[in-house]
Structures are given as C-alpha cells and as structure tokens.
Amino acid sequence: MEKTVALEMRKVSKYFGEVIANKDVDLTVYQGEILAILGENGSGKTTLMNMIAGIYYPDEGQVFVRGEEVLIRSPHDAFAQGIGMIHQHFKLVDVFTAAQNIVLGVNDGKKYKLSDINARVQEIADKYGFHIDPKKKIYEMSVSEKQTVEIVKVLYRGADILILDEPTAVLTPQETQKLFAVLKKMKEDGKSIIIITHKLHEVLSVSDRVAVLRKGEYIGSVETKGATELSLTEMMVGRKVELNIERSEPKDVKDRLVVTGLHCKNRDGVEMLNDVSFVARSGEILGVAGIAGSGQRELLEAIAGLQHLESGEILYHDPVSEQEVNLRDKTPLQIRELGVRLSFVPEDRLGMGLVGNMDIVDNMMLRSYRKGKSFFVDRKKPQTLAETIIEELEVATPGVHTPVRRLSGGNVQKVLVGREIAASPKVLMAAYPVRGLDINSSYTIYNLLNKQKENGVAVIFVGEDLDVLIDLCDRILVIGGGRVTGVVDARTTTKEEIGLLMTKSDSIGEIKAEEQTEGAENE
C-alpha cells in the first residue's frame, strides 16, 4: 500500500525556560493511519501536539503539511490546514446544544441556520457511526457524549488530521471500545489520527504505528503489529522494567472502618452519595472503582471530615483502645484529636494535599505544625522528615527548600504520600494516587500501599485503571451515580464485570438498554 505523508515535523524544539519540552523531534504521520504517541508523563507528548494545533509556537524546526512548509501560529491556522485537536479537558458551552457548540466560532460567511447545521452534524455522525443528538444540551450529556461533540466539532471544520489527547482517560471500557470503532472508520475514510495515551493495551488494540517520546526527544516509531506491552515500555522508559505488582494474602483482617447509609449532597443540592455502605478492613486494600465523578471524591472527603452528611454513620474501630468512634460531622482537627489515625492522599495534590508555593519542609509540617504550645513553628523535625522522605522515596529535587510546584508530578506525589504515611496511619485513603505518574513512580506508589497493607493498615484506593485495581486490590467496591453497585473479589473478577457495574446506576442503565436494542436492530 502506498503511503502519503499527511504531516511531518522536522527538528522541532520547544523550551520553557530551562525546561526542554521537546528537542529536535522528527515525526511523520501518514494519511489513513492511526498513530499512537506514547511516552511517560513529562515526555513532551502534549506539548508536541499543541505545536501542531497552534496552541504553542515552536522555538525551532519546521512543520510540513502535505509536503508544504507551514507556519501554525494559532488554532485558526491549524484549522486552515485541516488539523483539529480534541483536548483532554473539553471546551464546551454548557447551555448550548451540541450543534450550537459545534458551529461556534466557524466563520465561513454563510448564514447561520440551525436546522441545516443540525442536519450536517447528523450527517457526519451517521457517516462515522457516532451517536449524537444535535439538539441535546451539553449539561445533559455524559462525559462520553461531550467527547463525541468535541470530535464532531473538529470534523465539521473539515479536519482530516485529528489529534486526541488521552481520549480514554474519562471513559469506561465499553465506551472506549465504541470510540475505537469510530476512529477506525475515520481512518478508513482516509483521515490521519494521532492519539496520545499511556495505556499500552489501548495502543496495541487501536493503532497502526507507535511513536515513542522520552524526555522530550523522539526515540523512534514501530509498527504496532510487531510490538508488545513490554517492548513498548522498554522504549518508553529506556531500560528493562518489571511490570508486576506483588500482592500478598491479607493477614489479620479486622473491620477498621464501617460505613453505613451515607447520604450527601453537593452545593447545588444534587445527591452525590446515595445510601453508601461498606467496610474497610485492616491488612487489606479496598479498591474503589467508578466513572469519574460518581461520588468517589465525596466519599473520601466525608470520611476525612470535609463533607457535610445528610445521614449515615462512619464508625472507626480503634485497634489500640478497642473503642468505636463515630467520625460523622467531625472536623479534620477533631478527628485527629480523637486519636484517629487517618491519612488521606487527596485527588487534588497541589490544591488540597500540598501547598504548591511552599517548600518541601513547610509542606511536611502541614499536618503537624500545631504541636507544642510555642507561638513559633518548629522547622527542625519537618526538615528531618523531608530529608528522610527525599532519600527513601528517591524524590528528585534540588533541595528541601524547593517549592513543590516545581517538582514533577511523580515527585509531588511521593512527597504527599510520604508525609501521609509518616503519620503511621491505621486507615490510609488515596484518591487516584498514580494519576499522571510515569511507570516507575506508579510502581513506587503501589509498593508503598502494599507495604502499608502488610503493616496492618486499612487501605482505601480510588483508582481509574481497572487493570491496576484488579492487580493491586483485595476487594473492589464499585460505585455508579453515588450508589454502591457491587463489591467484587479482585482475584476473581474481570474488567468487563467491573465495567458493567460502573454503569449500573439507574439513569445510565436506561441508556444501556437503549443501545442494546439499537444494536439488535442493526443486526
């Protein structure tokens, strides 16, 4: 088969101050192929794509589209070249319909007639097999529907080079399969698709070719056919790696945290937790799976004393005093004063767990600075703790006085997890602790959690990667739409089973039923 070059980058570099985001990257994308860009976090994938999409301007190098050198100085220029990017965070107007969002910003001199646009949108959707209702408003849509709108938006503008930045991060396994089917249809239509991801099995299942970046540099590209997860990882990391999580059998299992009938509403009065009950046990990792925004965050914050509860109880069994403490309606300070050893690694690391502008020492003392009656703070012990954590967890930092926002994602997380573990907790809650971390850092975190489990801590792990949840946890609590939809044994369950449970809440259940009947009609 003859291949036409759709896009080519030659010696493209981009710097942010001292930081090299991309250095002399050469990249070729052919017409009618799906190219996966693979790389650890901070390897410059998104920066590189942003330069094609007109968000950044390259400091050095040239970009060729269909053989001609072009300058892409704005997203507008990118569209003129037929390049469209679907960003990780959607950029849609909530109160507009799908079609209105799609046409927003299109300036083709034509008269704006909504019925025509609706028809065009429907036409595009039918061509590639999207399910989209042009008249539906964005705020009524699920995450996957919003993503569909973003993709159609780009197609509507006539893009034939599409860039998708981690499109599957917010999707269930079933939705991911549907997305991939659509991508393959677009490919057959002659479009070039670039997909950024760090999930290896997805790379293997959808792409034709894989280009690997490491530390901002282009390492090479391989045909997907001949690649394996291990060979791609080695390209990405640059050396041999072990991808095994050692899961020990739970020992000395006792109920540590008994949660019954939690109800809670968010600020707008929307019910976020609906009758949630579960038990977290010592010496065990309890995974929490669910589509993003199903109530995971509210659940952990409720236990940590940061969320007002409508009803329900959170009972903590103190292993030392053998007493039961109800944590409901207590502030974080009261919880600590009751002697409850609860550590919490929140999802929002720099917005909640740490203070980005403070150095490592000052972040160490966030939890402990109150100790003692002195008017002044004691920075000696936090400094020692900071040094210990830097050494033991191999935090890459210029020093203890570096503001944590300057550290890379993995190192930020090591600092946070290190601090929370240093408080020798009896319950350790971690929300998405490996989000955005590279493979090595991820495994460091998994090992830390495993070690806590072996020490008899009740670990609650909220995760998004189902493969990891299945490999790491002992039991998995699945929530959908604020309800517990199931608790499964991680050793015997499958991804599909969890995926189905994730979407089992009432409203989404209906959509599923609809899809099934539609599928039947097609056959």
| 358 is a site residue for another protein (CB under 8 A) | yes
DSSP 196: E
| 15 is a site residue for another protein (CB under 8 A) | yes
| 67 is a site residue for another protein (CB under 8 A) | no
CA–CA distance, 314 with 329 (Å, rounded to integer): 10
Smallest gap from residue 194 Cβ to another protein (A): 20
Smallest gap from residue 418 Cβ to another protein (A): 16
Among 220, 293, 351, 399, binds another protein (CB under 8 A): 351
| 366 is a site residue for another protein (CB under 8 A) | yes
CA–CA distance, 420 with 25 (Å, rounded to integer): 40
Sign of CA dihedral 503, 507, 513, 517: negative
Smallest gap from residue 357 Cβ to another protein (A): 6
β-sheet with 458-462: strand ranges across: 342-345, 427-431, 458-462, 284-289, 475-480, 483-489
Helix axes 229-237, 439-454, angle to 10 degrees: 110
Among 13, 43, 81, 192, binds another protein (CB under 8 A): 81
Among 3, 4, 62, 88, binds another protein (CB under 8 A): 62
Q: Find tokens 């989404």 and name the residue.
A: 508
| 328 is a site residue for another protein (CB under 8 A) | no
Which of 113-121, 340-348, 458-466, 498-506 is the region at the interface with another protein (rule: CB under 8 A)?
340-348
Among 195, 304, 342, 395, binds another protein (CB under 8 A): 304
| 347 is a site residue for another protein (CB under 8 A) | no
Evaluate whether 407 touches 395 at the Cβ level (below 8 Å): yes
CB-wise, 315 or 377, nearer to another protein? 377
| 268 is a site residue for another protein (CB under 8 A) | no
Which of 14-22, 91-99, 131-139, 388-396 is the region at the interface with another protein (rule: CB under 8 A)?
14-22
Which of 95-103, 137-145, 153-161, 352-360 is the region at the interface with another protein (rule: CB under 8 A)?
352-360
Smallest gap from residue 337 Cβ to another protein (A): 9
**Nearest 10 degrees: CA dihedral of 470, 475, 476, 482?**
-170
Smallest gap from residue 472 Cβ to another protein (A): 25
* Total residue length of the chain: 523
Angle at 356 between CA 352 and CA 360, to 5 degrees: 105
CB-wise, 123 or 348, nearer to another protein? 348
Among 3, 57, 140, 246, binds another protein (CB under 8 A): 57
Helix axes 114-128, 143-156, angle to 10 degrees: 100
Please list the residues that pair with 281 across neighbouring strands: 255
| 329 is a site residue for another protein (CB under 8 A) | no
| 4 is a site residue for another protein (CB under 8 A) | no
Smallest gap from residue 107 Cβ to another protein (A): 13
Which of 41-49, 172-180, 370-378, 510-518 is the region at the interface with another protein (rule: CB under 8 A)?
370-378
| 346 is a site residue for another protein (CB under 8 A) | yes
The token duo for 74 is: 């704005």
Which of 199-207, 220-228, 355-363, 468-476 is the region at the interface with another protein (rule: CB under 8 A)?
355-363
The token duo for 446 is: 């998994």
Closest CA to 238 of 407, 391, 438: 438
CA–CA distance, 148 with 67 (Å, rounded to integer): 30
> What are the backbone dihedrals phi and psi of residue 269, each rounded to the nearest 5 degrees, phi first?
85, 10
Closest CA to 468 of 451, 487, 445: 445
Alpha carbon 211 to its chain centroid, in Å, reads 21
Among 3, 16, 158, 507, binds another protein (CB under 8 A): 16
Among 95, 109, 239, 375, binds another protein (CB under 8 A): 375
CA–CA distance, 480 with 491 (Å, rounded to integer): 21
| 311 is a site residue for another protein (CB under 8 A) | no
Q: Find tokens 């009656």 and name the residue.
A: 373
Which segments within 407-509 are labelled E, that is strand? 427-431, 458-462, 475-480, 483-489
Report the relative pairing of strands 284-289 and 458-462 from DSSP bridges.
Answer: parallel
Among 75, 332, 409, 509, binds another protein (CB under 8 A): 332
Q: Find tokens 């914050």 and name the residue.
A: 301
Which of 55-63, 107-115, 310-318, 466-474 is the region at the interface with another protein (rule: CB under 8 A)?
55-63
Among 104, 181, 230, 333, binds another protein (CB under 8 A): 333
| 355 is a site residue for another protein (CB under 8 A) | yes
Which of 140-148, 213-221, 361-369, 453-461 is the region at the interface with another protein (rule: CB under 8 A)?
361-369
How many residues line the site for another protein (CB under 8 A)? Answer: 47
Count of C-beta atoms within a 10 Å radius of residue 416: 24
Q: Which residues form the interface with another protein (CB under 8 A)?
A: 15-18, 57, 59, 62, 66, 68-73, 77, 80-81, 304-306, 331-333, 335-336, 344, 346, 348, 350-358, 362, 365-367, 369-370, 374-377
